[in-house]
Amino acid sequence: MVLFVCASLTSAQQKPFSTDQALFLQEMTAFMVGADKKEGKPFMEGVFAPVWNGTYYSERQRIKVAEVANFMLRARASRTCRPS
């Protein structure tokens, strides 16, 4: 799951993800589906959302996932903005 998210984060820039559990899921779903509708939608609906909304992650872990996603967005933006 993380590898799929990591690869998709490099495909587009966007505003930072929210640390609110429900809002993060909406934002990540829009991001993933926007990056690859064919694979993004089934992945988000069938894999990510059930795990995200389940009991697998604690609130603290969900916040950390959002923080890591935002870190990856910033890292990509800094690589993109660097002059060659």
Residue 8 lies in a domain: no
Residue 44 lies in a domain: yes
Residue 43 lies in a domain: yes
Residue 11 lies in a domain: no
pLDDT beneath 70, residues of the chain: 1-13, 79-84
| Residues spanned by the domain of 65 | 20-70
Residue 2 lies in a domain: no
Residue 60 lies in a domain: yes
What integer pLDDT is reported at residue 74 of this predicted model? 86
Cβ(14)–Cβ(31) below 8 Å: yes
Count up the domains in the chain and report the number: 1
Amino acid making up residue 73 = L
What integer pLDDT is reported at residue 23 of this predicted model? 97
CA 23 to chain centre: 11
Residue 53 lies in a domain: yes
What integer pLDDT is reported at residue 3 of this predicted model? 45
